[in-house]
Structure 1
Amino acid sequence: MHNNKQKHRTTQQRKVILEELKKVKTHPAADEIFRMVRKRLPRISLGTVYRNLEVLTELKEIQEIELTGNLKRFDGNPENHYHLRCMICGRIDDAPFELEKDLEKKMRPFTEYTIISHKLEFIGICPKCSSELP
């Protein structure tokens, strides 16, 4: 069992995983990240990639996107921001506008919850899938 210091020590593998994830805007799943990282680290295992993605998420260096009915996807941008998701192919893009910080304040009068943050996902059909519809 690793102690916290060992678990959070920056390793070469974790550094490469983070670098590869930050290169793309496609919000890849762990198996896609594994294929990307293997080009630089041919001996890395899928399990090692999964564990490092968990640690990077825990350290708030990346963002894990959990989508209903889909695999977890990962975002190299750890800041809270909105996403667009295609309901046909599952493509995920960053929404092209700023986070609405006032939304949390607007919610407060309507609930007894202590609002900490919010996530927002727009669901639609991407341009590629739209062009292929009959």
Structure 2
Amino acid sequence: MRTVKIMSAVLTFAAVTTPSPLSGTASGAVPGSAVVLGLSVGGGPTRSVLLRCGRDDSRPSFATACGMLGKFGGDLARMTYDLDMICGQERLAHAASALGTWEGRPVRFAHTYDNRCEMTARTGPVFSF
């Protein structure tokens, strides 16, 4: 089952990052900000979404996540949202991952946070899906 999900994410990523003859701008450049975000809570199944920045998206959470990624140049490891956030001692692992491209550069990220509060303090709204 896990292999199927991983392959699905990889195939989705490949489809998003492979330019079609009709994609791109008038100059032929292909915008490159598409990231598959994954989140597993407490070792459960991984939920994933495709975040395609630079497109009109009616979901405000995606626009906010794209803004956050843009602030850090797509580098999720450098992200800091609210480091002064006070988090309890709850232990419920949140494994967050990202695979894709940001402005044409590869994005690969995986980190397990102790709880949702810790994850939010670092990544803000990025994994709120």
TM over 0.5: no
Q: Which has the higher contact order (CA 8 A, sep 6+)?
A: 2
Calculate the TM-score normalised by the size of structure 1. 0.25
TM-score normalised to structure 2 length: 0.26
Whose strand proportion is higher, 1 or 2? 2
